[in-house]
Chain A
Amino acid sequence: MRKPELEDVLRRAARRDPEALETLVDLYSPRVYGLLYRLCGSRDAAEELLQETFLRVVRTIDRYEHTGKFEAWLFRIAANLARDRARQGRRRGSMASLDESPVDAELSSPDRMSTDAEPQRRLMQKEACDRLLECLERLTHPEREILYLRHFSGLSFQKIAEILEVPLGTALARAHRALKRLRAEFNESY
């Protein structure tokens, strides 16, 4: 969606126009869900928080200042909800791969099975993905949070620093540290 169109949708959403709000759900729910799913480790929790994220958008969008930072605002809500969930300890520690279906689903989908000529290669890819996810799960929540925020939101580190309410240098240092730990975990897992 082009920027003027998005701004029009946001203006209508600010008046709680149901169609505009549904458009925002269509536009952003895949990325927000991706973040929530990776941070929570379960589909149920991610779906619950996805709904809560957008309900909070509906409830507070009249107070949102339209300064071109909607995505940052949206991902801040989602990240805060995921952080609260982690603090509460619900489903904390569950491995994403335990509830994982994307990789399995991708591998077992009829299209893939019928067209993929290299099942062995795909199996190795799945194993690599699972290992990577396991390593990511061993990071602290703030470390995973910043990596997943960058990966799923597509926002700059400057905006991510604003979301996390830390200076840019702190955000970058945290991401750097998280990647360093991830590398170490990955190497150890072999």
Chain B
Amino acid sequence: MTPELDKLERLIERELEVLAGLPAPTPSPEAAQRVKSAVRAEAIRLGRPSQRFSVLPRWAAVAAAILLAAGLSGVLTGSPKPGEQLADAAELLALWSDTVGRSSDRLSFLLEDGWLLEQPVRESPKALDRVLDTLDASFEQLGGL
């Protein structure tokens, strides 16, 4: 700041003391509370997406496991000798692609709309065990291809 501006600022500050006598209006307690309520509601509204996605790590892996297991089981269950039935590599690739595609669709659905599933899944550890067992079985079947 130049000396001239500094001098001008000090002069203005002195003259601004004329405003010191003005009463300071304050919002009514009701208005202040309304503002706080609105701020809280907006914070919660805007924070919801991040909260939704913040819970994903707890169950997203399980959801993916369910979908993979369901998809793979659909392809492989009842196929005692899948290698014989899916001898054609192109057919195998097509089925695999289709299965992954359907799993991906279901996973997308879960991520977008199915987050309410978190509670039942979390409250049913036995169901989780079954899902994971199925997944293991699916991978074993996959390994046998």
Whether B24 and A30, one on each chain, are in contact in the complex, defined by CB atoms closer than 8 angstroms, is yes
B53 CB to nearest chain A CB (Å): 14
Contact A58 B9 (CB under 8 A): no
Q: Which of A33, A46, A59 contacts B42 (CB 8 A)?
A: A59
Determine which of B22, B27, B42 lies in contact with A133 in the assembled complex, contact meaning CB atoms within 8 Å.
B22
Task: Name which residue of chain A comes closest to B4, CB basis.
Answer: A169
**Pairwise interchain contact B43-A17, C-beta atoms closer than 8 A:** yes
Within the complex, what minimum Cβ distance (angstroms) separates B55 from chain A?
A: 16
Chain B interface residues toward A at CB < 8 A: 1, 5, 8-9, 11-12, 15-16, 18-19, 21-28, 31-32, 34-36, 38-40, 42-44, 46-47
Contact B12 A179 (CB under 8 A): yes
Q: Is A50 at the interface (CB under 8 A from chain B)?
A: yes
Name B39's contact: one of A15, A58, A151, A183 (CB within 8 Å): A58
Q: How far is A51 from B39 in the complex, measured between Cα atoms in Å?
A: 8
For A22-44 the 0/1 string (1 means CB < 8 A from B) is 10011001100110011000010
The interface residues of chain A lying within 8 Å CB-to-CB of B32 are 25-26, 29
- Given contact pairs A58-B46, A176-B12, A21 touches B39 in the complex (Cβ within 8 A): yes
A18 contact from B16, B31, B44, Cβ within 8 A: B44
Whether B27 contacts A55 by the Cβ 8 Å rule is no
Given known pairs A18-B43, A25-B36, the reply for A129 and B23 (CB within 8 Å) is yes
A55–B25 CB distance below 8 A: no
Given A18-B39, A172-B5, are A182 and B12 also a contact pair (CB < 8 Å)? Answer: no
Q: Please determine whether A47 and B31 come into contact, CB atoms closer than 8 angstroms.
A: yes
Minimal Cβ-Cβ distance residue in A for B31:
A47
From residue B87, how far is it (CB to closest CB) to chain A in Å? 55
B39 and A30 contact, CB distance less than 8 A: no
Contacts A16-B46, A54-B35 hold; do A128 and B27 have CB atoms under 8 A apart? no
Contacting residues, chain B, for A51 (C-beta < 8 A): 34-35, 38
**Do A29 and B16 form a contact, CB below 8 Å, given A21-B39, A51-B35, A132-B22?**
no
Instruction: Verify if A103 is at the interface (C-beta below 8 Å from B).
Output: yes
Q: Does A89 contact B (CB under 8 A)?
A: no
Additional A-B contact list (5), CB under 8 Å, known A54-B39, A176-B11, A182-B18 = A50-B27, A55-B42, A133-B22, A176-B12, A179-B15
A102 at the interface (CB under 8 A from B): yes
A-B contact list, 27 entries, CB within 8 Å: A16-B46, A18-B40, A21-B40, A22-B36, A25-B32, A25-B36, A30-B27, A33-B26, A34-B24, A46-B25, A47-B31, A51-B34, A51-B35, A51-B38, A55-B42, A58-B42, A59-B42, A128-B21, A129-B21, A132-B21, A151-B22, A169-B5, A172-B9, A175-B12, A176-B8, A179-B15, A183-B15
A172 to B6, CA, bound (A): 10
CB distance from B14 to the nearest CB of A (A): 10
The 7 closest A-B pairs by CB, nearest first: A102-B23, A16-B43, A47-B31, A18-B40, A37-B25, A33-B27, A18-B43
